[in-house]
Structure 1
Amino acid sequence: MSSSSSPPALRLSLRSFWAVLPREGKWLLSTTAIQLLGRGLTLPFTVIYLHEVRGISLDVAGTLMAWIFVVGVLATGPGGAATDRFGARAVSLFGSSCQLVGVAILAVAHTVPQAAAAMTLMGVSGITWPAFNALVASIVQGSIRQTYFGISFALVNLGIGVGGIIAGAFVDVHRPSTFTTIYLLDAASMLIPIGLLLGPLRHIHGRAERPDDTDGQPASYWRIARQPSVAWLLLLTFIATFVGYGQMEAGFPAFARQVSGASTRAIGWAFAANTAVIVLCQFVVLRRIEGHRRTRVLVVMAVVWATAWLTLGATGLAPATMAATAGVILFHAFFGFGETMLQPTVPAITNDLAPDHLRGRYNALSAAAFQGGGIVGPVVAGVMLDHHLGSAFITMLLVGCGVVAVLAMALERRISPVVNGIRPSSPSTYAKGAERAHDDRAAH
């Protein structure tokens, strides 16, 4: 990674970051792990719950899971426009309420229509993601925004990881009430963000008025997405998600079981290693990447992920051995390390590119690209691994990592140094934030 010729940016300690973080940002960050604890209780067990507890066939259960993402993609566009029109707070409240009701319905669902209704509401709640990012960006300004996104990601993983451990020791398919309990607790956890938005953050609407110097034309998604900087960023996000998260929950477990011969326990330990690496390394990585070009960070991430996929591919040379088990766990350690570079940078670039009055639409486009990669990835993995094309599968992902690196360098030529994370070195950089580059914004 290399930085510009400008003075190196100040590197924050955790204490100094907390000191300059606005009060509203402290409210959001301090509750992240707790509210995600509920999500962690249910995330690993939904398919098991639908199939083994409620008696829904695996193919229908899988379709219901996919339906969440389909609805999420469909809701992203209207959600982004609503964020810009009504404010990120209002949309976050609506999305969180949909999640609460959806998960509560799922807790007592016994039929496919009931489960489908629950999944639909949970899919609609996907509008919360871009709205919440827009809300954060309206509160947290300047270089600390990248730090905030990174620390928040670590806390999300901490909450989900701890929740998964607790639920794994508690649920029992022979006692359906244990699953009802964790889903009701998941629903109740949504009262935390709702309470924040109705209480301490009720004055933060997350909406900006259209500047007087715009051309007056409608701010369509097409006009935003056709900007070279945005187009390259969206393509990079899609490919990175395809080779990353799109494979983590489908391609990786299938390869580990069919090709590596790993046990389900080893796969569980691999996910635990992923969470541990993220929680332990995220702030260290944030301090290392501060003052460096975000696009160069993404190139390093692509190299780390390529190493991860090579490691997993090598386990196929000695399947069902201790070496293969170690390789499966090491894969997720590498993968988690790469995540600590992806999660702070892409949201920060997106929100530094976005004019205040269009922040909802920019984040919605980013979310759609992310969800698109998450939908296509498992489909491709399923087809290839079902046809025993394990080597071709790994090769495809290695090529994909190379494409991510190329796209990152192409993006670097189309965004300003400020958007790319290079800011003047001064205390006010963190306390007040730095101005955004006008040449990276469309005149809407």
Structure 2
Amino acid sequence: MPRTLWVLVIGMVINVTGASFLWPLNTIYIHDQLGKSLTVAGIVLMLNSGASVIGNLIGGYLFDKVGGYRSILIGIFISMFAIVGLVFFNEWPYYVGLLIIVGFGSGIVFPAMYAMAGSVWPDGGRRAFNAMYVGSNVGVAVGAALGGLVASYSFQYVFTANAIMYMIFLLLAVFGYRSIKVENNKQQNVVSQAKVVKNYTKLTALLIVSIGYILCWLAYSQWASTIASYTQGLDISMKQYSMLWTINGALIVLGQPFVSTIIRFFAKTLKAQIVIGIIIFIASFVVVLNTTQFTGFIVAMVILTVGEMFVWPAVPTIANELAPKGREGFYQGIVNSMATGGRMLGPVVGGLLVDIYGMNMLFIVLIGLLVISVFTTLIYDRKLKHVENKSVPAISAGS
């Protein structure tokens, strides 16, 4: 793996570690500390994620226009402003406004980092995105474990720890990312009509696979929102809940050889890899539907983690493969915005379903949505294959 990618992965670890002090505990803080309902908590998290969606799209656009280094710095400075603000202003309604700004700034950072990862190791394929994914989840494991411990003393310390980690990330970005050179992949000025049609079809394929992606994230986000609050009602402590995310992050790091072996033998294509992962997701929610014990949640989290190890790195890889030259940032912005959109819709949809129908209905609906995502994954590239097959005779005739 190139040294430049290692620097990006380390930055991802630091960035997500800081964020993970807070994001798994957001619903608990809003519901238990600020005294708001689950529906209100879901709306707040929806606003945070909505700002991230906008940030994702802008971050991808900025990567294509001004490069990864400047894009990342812009996102960091915006987030730093709000994160430091949270240290001093974390009551209602200041918490809401600052959380929205944090979402926007962090949204700019992520697609730029993923696009940069694909650019610095173009021959790495899924390995570059898998490395970023593993780095992200090392941050989740460390941040969630420390966050639960720190929050058990005071939520004020959580905000301070988040700010410190982001300052460290800023220093790494300033001194480590400036020297990273990204290949200039701008398209030629003259583009044939056939190329335009093919690029449009690639974008359509990405949007279709992204529909399944957003549904997967909608389901997954329940673990940091409705399920988080649900565990508190089952006398599962905050430390135990945070331990679930520690298990998640540890498994992602330690389980890579195991999952890589399965993928190599049973998931020859990215499509197969995603479908297998979604089916595993479904199994995890079946377990949650039938348990009220902490051990059952551990089993469900283990199954969920295996599923995400299949799905999460595969979708950015598909985006990188589909992206026309010079549009890598834009395509990564789309998939990141879809993931964020799932996290945006998840808490509010989940909160409403739980408040009106209860937890069991929520899990049944989530399983249904995951079944739909299997279907979208299976069909996303059907039209693209048709266009590519039609282009073969024309290429042969001109040769």
Deviation of residue 113 (structure 1)? 5.5
In the other structure, the counterpart of 1:300 is 276
2:20–2:144 Cα contact (<8 Å) kept: yes
Matches within 5 A, 1:23-38: 23-38=3-18
- For residues 130 and 394 of structure 1, do their structure 2 counterparts lie closer, same or farther at Cα, with a shift above 3 Å needed? same
Structure 2 CA distance for aligned equivalents of residues 44 and 299 of structure 1: 27
Structure 2 CA distance for aligned equivalents of residues 168 and 402 of structure 1: 33
Structure 2 residue 53 is matched with structure 1 residue 73: yes
In the other structure, the counterpart of 1:432 is none
Query: Could you give the per-residue CA deviations for residues 70-91 of structure 1, whole angstroms, max 9, x where no partner exists?
Result: 2222333333222211112211
Query: Which structure's residues are more often helix, by fraction?
Result: 2
Structure 2 residue 253 is matched with structure 1 residue 253: no
Deviation of residue 249 (structure 1)? 1.7
In the other structure, the counterpart of 1:140 is 121
- For residues 257 and 184 of structure 1, do their structure 2 counterparts lie closer, same or farther at Cα, with a shift above 3 Å needed? closer
2:27–2:229 Cα contact (<8 Å) kept: no
Structure 1 CA distance for aligned equivalents of residues 243 and 185 of structure 2: 49
- For residues 120 and 377 of structure 1, do their structure 2 counterparts lie closer, same or farther at Cα, with a shift above 3 Å needed? closer
Structure 1 CA distance for aligned equivalents of residues 28 and 13 of structure 2: 24
Deviation of residue 341 (structure 1)? 0.7
Q: 286, 289, 305: which is aligned to 1:313?
A: 289
Structure 2 CA distance for aligned equivalents of residues 228 and 188 of structure 1: 41
Structure 2 residue 237 is matched with structure 1 residue 264: yes
* Matched residue SS, 1:381: helix
Q: 36, 58, 75: which is aligned to 2:36?
A: 58
Structure 1 CA distance for aligned equivalents of residues 308 and 15 of structure 2: 21
Query: Could you give the per-residue CA deviations for residues 229-267 of structure 1, whole angstroms, max 9, x where no partner exists?
Result: 222222121222223x23222243355566xx4633654
* Matched residue SS, 2:314: helix
Structure 2 CA distance for aligned equivalents of residues 383 and 274 of structure 1: 26
Query: Could you give the per-residue CA deviations for residues 384-422 of structure 1, whole angstroms, max 9, x where no partner exists?
Result: 222234443333222222222222221353567xxxxxx
Structure 2 CA distance for aligned equivalents of residues 400 and 364 of structure 1: 23
Structure 2 CA distance for aligned equivalents of residues 207 and 168 of structure 1: 41
- For residues 206 and 118 of structure 1, do their structure 2 counterparts lie closer, same or farther at Cα, with a shift above 3 Å needed? farther
- For residues 224 and 378 of structure 1, do their structure 2 counterparts lie closer, same or farther at Cα, with a shift above 3 Å needed? farther
Counting matched residue pairs gives: 378
Q: 69, 72, 75: which is aligned to 1:89?
A: 69
One-letter amino acid matched to 1:286: S
In the other structure, the counterpart of 2:341 is 372
Q: 333, 356, 359: which is aligned to 2:325?
A: 356
Structure 2 CA distance for aligned equivalents of residues 52 and 397 of structure 1: 25
Structure 2 CA distance for aligned equivalents of residues 41 and 110 of structure 1: 15
Structure 2 CA distance for aligned equivalents of residues 395 and 65 of structure 1: 22
Matches within 5 A, 1:42-441: 42-46=22-26, 56-59=34-37, 63-109=43-89, 111-112=91-92, 114-125=94-105, 126-142=107-123, 144-171=124-151, 179-204=155-180, 206=182, 208=184, 210-212=186-188, 214-215=190-191, 227-243=203-219, 245-253=220-228, 256=231, 261=234, 263-264=236-237, 267-290=241-264, 292-315=268-291, 319=292, 324-414=293-383
Structure 2 CA distance for aligned equivalents of residues 224 and 255 of structure 1: 43
* Matched residue SS, 1:357: coil
Structure 2 CA distance for aligned equivalents of residues 45 and 253 of structure 1: 8
**TM-score normalized with structure 1 length:** 0.74
Moved more, 60-69 or 326-335: 60-69
2:218–2:343 Cα contact (<8 Å) kept: yes
- For residues 23 and 115 of structure 1, do their structure 2 counterparts lie closer, same or farther at Cα, with a shift above 3 Å needed? same
**TM-score normalized with structure 2 length:** 0.82
Structure 1 CA distance for aligned equivalents of residues 52 and 201 of structure 2: 19
Structure 1 CA distance for aligned equivalents of residues 92 and 229 of structure 2: 26
- For residues 314 and 375 of structure 1, do their structure 2 counterparts lie closer, same or farther at Cα, with a shift above 3 Å needed? same
Task: Give the alignment's Cα RMSD to 1 decimal.
Answer: 3.3
One-letter amino acid matched to 2:225: A
* Percentage of identical aligned residues: 20
Structure 2 CA distance for aligned equivalents of residues 45 and 123 of structure 1: 15
Query: Could you give the per-residue CA deviations for residues 341-393 of structure 1, whole angstroms, max 9, x where no partner exists?
Result: 11221111111111231112111111221122222222222222222344433
1:32–1:155 Cα contact (<8 Å) kept: yes
- For residues 111 and 163 of structure 1, do their structure 2 counterparts lie closer, same or farther at Cα, with a shift above 3 Å needed? closer
2:118–2:320 Cα contact (<8 Å) kept: yes
What are structure 2's unaligned runs of at least 5 residues?
386-391, 395-399
Structure 2 CA distance for aligned equivalents of residues 402 and 113 of structure 1: 38
2:216–2:370 Cα contact (<8 Å) kept: yes
- For residues 205 and 98 of structure 1, do their structure 2 counterparts lie closer, same or farther at Cα, with a shift above 3 Å needed? farther
Structure 2 residue 31 is matched with structure 1 residue 41: no
Deviation of residue 215 (structure 1)? 3.6
* Matched residue SS, 1:306: helix
Query: Could you give the per-residue CA deviations for residues 266-323 of structure 1, whole angstroms, max 9, x where no partner exists?
Result: 54443343233222213431344248201101111121111111111222xxx5xxxx
Deviation of residue 127 (structure 1)? 1.3
Structure 2 CA distance for aligned equivalents of residues 167 and 390 of structure 1: 26
1:99–1:187 Cα contact (<8 Å) kept: no
